[in-house]
Amino acid sequence: MSALFEPLTLRSLTIPNRVWMAPMCQYSAAPEGPEEGAPHDWHFQHLAARAAGGTGLILTEATAVHPDGRISPYDLGLWNDTQTAAFRRITAFLKSQGTTPGIQIAHAGRKASTERTWVNRGGPILPGQRYGWEPVGPSPLPFDEGFATPAELSVAQIHELVGQFGASARRALAAGFEVAEIHGAHGYLINQFLSPFTNRRTDAYGGSYENRTRFALEVVDAVRAEWPDELPVFFRISATDWLTEDTRDDRTGWTADDTVRFARDLQEHGIDLLDTSTGGNAPDARITAGPGYQVPFAERVKKETGLAVGAVGLITEARQAEKIIAAGQADAVLLGRELLRSPSFAQHAARELGAEVRVPQAYHRAV
């Protein structure tokens, strides 16, 4: 039997295989008007194609809990009824193909208000420019040169954001999703609070490890309160900022040791799987990338805490993915760019590994 094509049960939900689709922004939603932030035909075909291709779990792109939390004005959101209704068409189709539908809810923080990646290399849209707005963050530190300085969130605003995450989780459930993932990675708002590199606060949400993790855990509690006990909640984390020393003020970033410690906290607050990525919080971090380069971070969390983990990062081949699962390094692999290139990766992998995977009846003659 192929380990990659064994079902995985989390709480009462059984996901048919371990080939999962990582969230990938499409920058294709309407930036204004009655359909602002709502998925449409592009998003339907993008996600539906991977479901027809045998993917076990599909996570939508980072879906903002508030308009100002979008990475770009063209991102998906889940803050109103129009968006909730539009997602139902997608979740119904994914379920009809045997795929588990999941959503990643997010707030971009200081990395909000940017262009699509193919316009000006995804650079900032500054306040006052068309579709631009003032970003927010734990501290008034711009992401990079040319980016707007974010407004420092007040404690009252932090509490409001926690409620917005909970409200989006409630809408996600109404939209038909079966997995909710909280985006705490890649330098977006929750990651900004976690890391001492970006969190310079001196109140209850900054300074010590306990204070810097407070916002994240409050968000987890708010989402878990809205999510059924029988369904899982994931947390995506950047296991390291890839910083050993910030030469500007001698501050280090979030580390792998922090991640292991935090994974135990997340378990206590009802998180069922840690989707383990890295980086994104410091634009000048030195990252050495290569096939499976982030898998060791997931493996360490799994071995030291027992929490289920997903592995990501340049996983592109069936036997590579099989080895990760069979060796116990992770419970699932999440593919990004490889699923953009090959929507039917799961079917190809099953054929190569001698496993079985669901194929739509209309495609049976191609098997």
Q: Is 27 a catalytic residue?
A: no
Q: Is the dihedral of CA 10, 16, 17, 20 positive or negative?
A: negative
C-alpha 345/C-alpha 99 separation (Å) is 14
Active-site residue, from 27, 74, 188, 205:
188
Provide DSSP, 252-316.
----HHHHHHHHHHHHHTT--EEEEE---S-TT------TTTTHHHHHHHHHHH--EEEE-SS--
Token digits of residue 267: 């378990």
291-298: long-range contacts, CB 8 A cutoff, minimum separation 24: 291/315, 291/316, 291/320, 292/320, 292/324, 294/239, 295/324, 295/329, 295/330, 296/329, 297/239, 297/240, 297/256, 297/259, 298/239, 298/274, 298/329, 298/330
| Contact of 297 with 276, CB cutoff 8 Å | yes
Residue type at 358 in one-letter notation? R
Backbone phi and psi for residue 10, each to the nearest 5 degrees, phi listed first: -125, 120
Residue 80: what residue type? N
Is there a contact between 304 and 276 (Cβ–Cβ < 8 Å)? Answer: no
Q: Closest Cα to residue 24, out of 337, 322, 236, 266?
A: 337
Alpha-carbon span 65 to 261, nearest angstrom = 27
212-231 core/surface letters (b: 16 or more CB in 10 A; e: else)? bbbbbbbbbebbbebbeeeb
Q: Which sequence positions are flagged as catalytic?
A: 188
